[in-house]
Amino acid sequence: MSNFHTLADVLATMNAKSLAAPVKPLVRGEFVGAAIVRSGGADSGLHRQPNHGELLVVIDGEGEFRVGDEQRRVRPGDFVFVPRNAIHGTVSTKGGPLSLLAIIAPQIDLAKDVIWEKSAEAPRFEVV
């Protein structure tokens, strides 16, 4: 994997896939991970990570995002900090999905470290 990425190329790759919530890993280290995450839908992705903090940067799209009891409209350029164990996720989108740069510490395993709030089965995440 290259150390250099253009946002246009990453988003084009994600647009070519028809996945509900794709993830494009960018960095995997012992103490931190970073990925481009495509998020959309109505309350379908609310979740929490009991042992991980997360910084999100909105890079494409607009919508309502929830962290704990607070909900706000987000758009490109906005930063969202998610403390450990806070319920968070996209509540609604405007005109398409949100694309976010997610920086998570410490390194996370989506299958083991994320607790999904509304469904018995986690949404499908795939590498694109």
Structure confidence at residue 5 (pLDDT): 63
The domain made up of 7-116 has a fold known as: Jelly Rolls (2.60.120)
| More confident position, 84 or 105 | 84
Distance CA 37, CA 24 (A): 6
Spell out the domain ranges in the chain. Answer: 7-116
Residues contacting 40, CB < 8 A, separation 6+: 20, 21, 61, 63, 90, 93, 96, 97, 98
Whether the link from the prior residue into 106 is cis, omega within 30° of 0, is: yes
d(CA 24, CA 81): 20
Q: Where are the alpha helices (DSSP H) in the chain?
A: 7-16, 110-113
Question: What would the pLDDT profile of 25-68 be if each residue is shown by its tens digit?
Answer: 666 666 788 888 887 666 557 888 888 889 999 998 999 999 99
